[in-house]
């Protein structure tokens, strides 16, 4: 519930930032990184990770690829639905942490 409160202004920013030249030093962009953090983490952790990411987005850091790292617990087999749509890919880092990658066919 709280995450939607934080995601709405990010989506608004993304809408208007499409009209400006790209300036983020990282992939995914800082706003996309923040959106993914709020979708998968608690608000306090997402806010902390997003703030640290924005502070790194300057000339003192090289930039590059910086996927969010999330803690994920797989659902039980009985909780899975029949129609599964893959929006994100989870790449194992250290159990129970995963890199979060977006499925571009979505």
**For range 95-106, the mean pLDDT:** 82
Q: Is residue 77 very low, low, confident or very high in pLDDT (cuts 50, 70, 90)?
A: low
Q: Is it true that the peptide bond before 96 is cis, omega within 30 degrees of 0?
A: yes
Token reading at 62: 């090289």
Domain ranges (residues) in the chain: 2-12+22-102
Determine which helix (DSSP H) or strand (DSSP E) holds 68, and give its type and residue range: none
CA distance 85 to 27: 23
Q: Is residue 79 very low, low, confident or very high in pLDDT (cuts 50, 70, 90)?
A: low
Report residue 87: phi and psi, to 5°: -100, -35
Cα 42-86-39 angle, rounded to 5 deg: 15
What is the pTM (predicted TM-score) of this model? 0.79
Dihedral sign computed on CA atoms, order 16, 19, 23, 27:
positive
For the segment 29-59, what is each residue's pLDDT rounded down to a tens digit? 999 999 999 988 889 999 999 999 999 888 8
What pLDDT does 47 receive? 93
């Amino acid at each position: 519930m709280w995450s939607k409160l934080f995601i709405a202004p990010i989506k608004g920013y993304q809408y208007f930032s499409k009209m400006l030249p790209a300036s983020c030093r990282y992939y995914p962009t800082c706003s996309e990184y923040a959106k993914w953090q709020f979708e998968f983490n608690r608000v306090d952790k997402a806010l902390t990770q997003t703030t640290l990411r924005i502070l790194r987005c300057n000339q003192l850091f090289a930039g590059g690829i910086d996927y969010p790292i999330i803690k994920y617990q797989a659902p039980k087999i009985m909780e899975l639905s029949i129609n599964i749509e893959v929006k994100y890919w989870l790449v194992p880092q250290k159990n129970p942490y995963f890199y979060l990658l977006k499925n571009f066919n979505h």
